[in-house]
Structure formats: C-alpha cells, structure tokens
A and B are shown apart, each in its own frame.
Chain A
C-alpha cells in the first residue's frame, strides 16, 4: 500500500482515538457515579433532612439551597448581563473604552472561582453587610456567571440580521422600539441558552459559596435571603472529605453527586431544547 494512505489512516486513527478517550472518560465518571449513587436515590433521600450528624437521612436542604442560590444568581446575572450585552451590541460605539470593557468581560470568565469567592466576602458579606447568607452567595455566583451571560447574549444579538433593525427604523420606529420589538424577540432564546449553561456551571460551584454563605450542616431549610444554606456541591465535598466517618457516608456522597449531575444535566438539556426550538424558527 502507498505510504500516503498509511499516513492518512494513521492520522485518522489517532484522531478517532482522541475522541474515544474523551468519550470513555466521561462515560467512566458518569457510570461510577450512577452505579454507586442510584441505589441511594429514594423519596426519603431526596425529601428529608439529614439526621444523626449527617450519617443518615436525606439531602433535601442541600437541594433546596442549591435551587435557591441559583435563582438569586439568575436574578443578578440575567438582567445585568443582558442589559450590558444590549448596550454593547446595539448602542455602544466601537472605541477604546468599549473594546476595553469587552476585553475585561472576556477575561473575567477566566478568573478562578475561588477569587470570586473571596471577592464576594469583601464586597457582599462585609462591605454591603449582607453577612454570610444565601444572597451573598447568589450575588457572588451571579458575578461569576455574568461574563457567560454577556458573551452569549452578544452573540445572540449579532445573529439577528441588520435588516430587521433597518426595516423597523425605516418605518418610523425609535431605536429602542426597533430593538425591543424587532431584535430582542429573536435574540432572547439564544441569550437564555448561554445564560442557562452559565447557571448550570454556577450551580455546581463550591469555592464562591464557601466563605459567603454555605453551611456545613443545617437540618432545616433557608428561611430568608439572609439565611445560611446547604448546597449540593459543598455537601458533596463535606461528605467525601470532611466527615468524621467518611466510609459510612460514602453512599450519601454518591447519591448527592448523582443528584447534582442530574440537576446540571437537566439544565443543559433545557438549554439544548431552547436552542433547537430557536433554530427551527430561524430563517434559512
């Protein structure tokens, strides 16, 4: 056989191997978690409080805590991020300042989460006197999610053809009318898709909530925005490394991991469905 074809096949084989390795790793992780965690998943596990120093009982407060804190994250990240993206893409002139803002936003997405966590302590817990609370944690996660929201929203706005804007203006719309009625409706799906992916990431984070509001063990649900709370990722961390009888609680750790993975998966699935529906609706 010609040397050329041997090389071609070798190259192809290598690439296939790369894809295969990635697939095997992901499958191995998921299989490990699912196989060891699924036996633990019962109604009682999902909907009851932890008991006896967290050696028994469920993870209900951690599930509720994670949902609660993610909701606050969304409340901060969605309006602020979308507003920023709309300004940058629709109004801002392309000059040094806006380019600087854009560059900063891109770079923020690369800041390690522990840095956000410590920043959250200084800004929300101390300076704004919100204390270690679910709102401090939610805002900290919100800051971390912002770059995702802004970037995804800007991309979504860029995908709306300019002819929609021009067509609206030519009919006597103000710029804001054109954006609100003839740009945003076609961008909002894409904006939300990116935002949900960002939120899913935030839901699984430990470092930003570590010093800002998450609690080790609270056998009750957070009552208000200033309550401390339990959260799935932190609970998982405690159960797998910090608990006094780690071997005994290992199944709980696996159950927690499975619930967290499923939660994030469901959020991602939602984003995918949203994107699919958006694509169906689009031109060409």
Chain B
C-alpha cells in the first residue's frame, strides 16, 4: 500500500494546455492533466467528447490524420513529445497502443508478436523467440497458443485476438500502454480477462484507457478523467470521482442521467 502511494506520486505524462484541431475545428480545449506512473488512468465521457482523440495525442497517432494540429505540451518523462526535434517513431515505440477493434495482422501468431521487433531491426532469432514467449505470457495468452504459434492469428477468438494485440504491443517494451476501449467488442468473459490483465500490467506499465463503460472505469482505473466537449470536466482518484464528484455534470454522467 505504501509502495503504491509512493509510486503514484511519480508523474509519467504531463499534459499542459493542450489544444487540438481537426481541420481548424478545436476538438480538445486547454487540456491539463498529470498521468501517474504505474497506475491506470481511465478516460470517460460521452461519444464525441474527444477522449479517443486525447489518447491518440499521447503517441502522436493523430499526426497521420490530414489537417490535425496540436498546440501545447505533452511531457513524457519531462520531454515534450511535440517538440520539433522529436523522433515520432521512437515515441510510438515508447508509448504502445491497443485499438478498439482488435487488429491482428494476417500473419501467424508468432509473426504478429515478432512484427514490432523485426521492424525495429532485431534479427536475433533466439531473442525474438524468447521475447515472444514472454510477451504472450505477460498478455495471458501463452498457455492458449503455445502449441499453435504458426497458425493464423485470425483463427483466434475475439478476446484472444485482443490479447494478442496487447502482446504485440508489449514485445517492443513500451513504458506506457494506451488502450482505446479494448474490451468494447468482447463478451463478458473475455472482458473480465482483459481487465484482470490490465491490473497485472500496471505493475510494469503506465496505462491510459478510454472506456465507455462506467463500471469498467470504476473497477480498473486508479485515476479517472471525465471529458466532455473537448474539456476535462473533472479528474482525480477514481474512488472520489465515483463517490463524491465535485461537479454536477460529472455526477449526472456517472449516474447515467445522460451519455
């Protein structure tokens, strides 16, 4: 418990006055938030509130969208990832991402997890093999797939595919893991597995997760930020947000009065 308190004081990501535009339309307004190391930060809010956009600013995945523009600072370990001299590719290696719809590549299970290693120039077969086993174990998938690593990733169930995508992200040793509604397309059993996994992963990684599901946010996140219309309405300890929200809008949202 004390450990966890000490850890929670370390800031991994510091967002300062972030504004974000899509072709001139401001979709994130003056976002300032600290994301603590080795904790799960949940991002909640109604559809179109900018929570996915915010998540994608953290590894600059929005860069590929035409007409996207960011203002302000996002400091990861004190370094602004929007500084001009920053290597975007290196950021994405450090800040991994798991998408809403699982997106295994049309390759074998092995090659899916190896993909990130290979594009980063790792050729050592032993290292790759070990890393794949480790990543699959970390993603709680190893036992289910260890005898069929050469089978197509498409043969896996939806939940397994999503865990494969998590393993694939873990293989390149990120420090932060971004998850965009990773369980929204999964059944309750598969969802439970992913949630359990997230709880274990936060020991090694800083996790930011966007979720539509209030119960899920309450169950898995240590901190919660509530977004609405591109603004953070309230953020803080999950327990506090869900039991004693300061803002009336937050209360209305989490009690399901709108959304």
A172, B116: Cβ atoms closer than 8 Å: yes
Residues of A within 8 A of B116 (CB): 171-173
Known A163-B99, A163-B101, A173-B89: A168·B115 in contact at CB below 8 Å: yes
User: Once bound together, how far apart are the Cα atoms of A165 and B169, in whole Å?
Assistant: 14
B92, A172: Cβ atoms closer than 8 Å: yes
User: Once bound together, how far apart are the Cα atoms of A167 and B97, in whole Å?
Assistant: 8
A171, B103: Cβ atoms closer than 8 Å: no
Identity of the chain B residue whose Cβ is nearest the Cβ of A163 in the assembled complex: B103
A186, B59: Cβ atoms closer than 8 Å: no
Residues of A within 8 A of B115 (CB): 168, 171, 181-182
Chain A: interface residue total (CB-CB under 8 A): 23
B163 located at the interface, meaning its Cβ lies under 8 Å from any Cβ of chain A in the complex: no
Partner of A281, one of B89, B96, B106, B119: B106
B105 located at the interface, meaning its Cβ lies under 8 Å from any Cβ of chain A in the complex: yes
Contact with A along B98-117 (1 / 0, CB 8 A): 01010101100000000110
| Minimum distance in angstroms from A109 CB to a CB of chain B | 28
Known A171-B119, A182-B105: A166·B99 in contact at CB below 8 Å: yes
Identity of the chain B residue whose Cβ is nearest the Cβ of A93 in the assembled complex: B66
Main secondary structure, interface of A, reads: helix
B61, A170: Cβ atoms closer than 8 Å: yes
Residues of A within 8 A of B66 (CB): 93-94
A170, B59: Cβ atoms closer than 8 Å: yes
B119, A173: Cβ atoms closer than 8 Å: yes
A161 located at the interface, meaning its Cβ lies under 8 Å from any Cβ of chain B in the complex: yes
Within 8 A of B (CB), among A140-178: 161, 163-175, 177
Contact with B along A96-130 (1 / 0, CB 8 A): 00000000000000000000000000000000000
Within 8 A of A (CB), among B161-179: 165, 168-169, 172
B172, A171: Cβ atoms closer than 8 Å: yes
User: Once bound together, how far apart are the Cα atoms of A107 and B92, in whole Å?
Assistant: 41
User: Once bound together, how far apart are the Cα atoms of A165 and B64, in whole Å?
Assistant: 10
User: Once bound together, how far apart are the Cα atoms of A166 and B98, in whole Å?
Assistant: 10
Known A166-B61, A177-B119: A171·B106 in contact at CB below 8 Å: no
A172, B103: Cβ atoms closer than 8 Å: no
A16 located at the interface, meaning its Cβ lies under 8 Å from any Cβ of chain B in the complex: no
Identity of the chain B residue whose Cβ is nearest the Cβ of A94 in the assembled complex: B66
Partner of B103, one of A161, A177, A281, A282: A161
User: Once bound together, how far apart are the Cα atoms of A73 and B10, in whole Å?
Assistant: 63
B154 located at the interface, meaning its Cβ lies under 8 Å from any Cβ of chain A in the complex: yes
B103, A164: Cβ atoms closer than 8 Å: yes
User: Once bound together, how far apart are the Cα atoms of A170 and B96, in whole Å?
Assistant: 6
Partner of B154, one of A94, A163, A283: A283
Contact with A along B162-203 (1 / 0, CB 8 A): 000100110010000000000000000000000000000000
Residues of A within 8 A of B101 (CB): 163
B216 located at the interface, meaning its Cβ lies under 8 Å from any Cβ of chain A in the complex: no
| Minimum distance in angstroms from B93 CB to a CB of chain A | 3
B93, A172: Cβ atoms closer than 8 Å: yes
Within 8 A of A (CB), among B192-243: none
Partner of A167, one of B103, B118, B172: B103
B120 located at the interface, meaning its Cβ lies under 8 Å from any Cβ of chain A in the complex: yes
Within 8 A of A (CB), among B36-79: 59, 61, 64, 66
Known A163-B99, A166-B99, A283-B154: A171·B105 in contact at CB below 8 Å: no
B90 located at the interface, meaning its Cβ lies under 8 Å from any Cβ of chain A in the complex: yes
Contact with B along A255-284 (1 / 0, CB 8 A): 000000000000000000000000001110
Partner of A169, one of B64, B154, B169: B64
User: Once bound together, how far apart are the Cα atoms of A194 and B93, in whole Å?
Assistant: 37
| Minimum distance in angstroms from A206 CB to a CB of chain B | 42
A interface residues, Cβ below 8 angstroms from B: 93-94, 161, 163-175, 177, 181-182, 186, 281-283
B interface residues, Cβ below 8 angstroms from A: 59, 61, 64, 66, 89-90, 92-93, 96-97, 99, 101, 103, 105-106, 115-116, 118-120, 154, 165, 168-169, 172
Cβ-closest 3 pairs across A and B: A172-B93, A163-B103, A171-B116
Can you list 22 A-B pairs with a CB-CB distance of less than 8 A? A161-B103, A163-B101, A163-B103, A165-B64, A167-B103, A167-B105, A167-B168, A168-B105, A168-B119, A169-B64, A170-B92, A170-B97, A170-B99, A171-B172, A172-B89, A173-B116, A175-B64, A181-B119, A182-B115, A281-B106, A282-B106, A283-B106
Known: A166-B64, A283-B106. 6 other contacts (CB 8 A): A164-B105, A167-B105, A170-B59, A171-B96, A171-B169, A172-B119
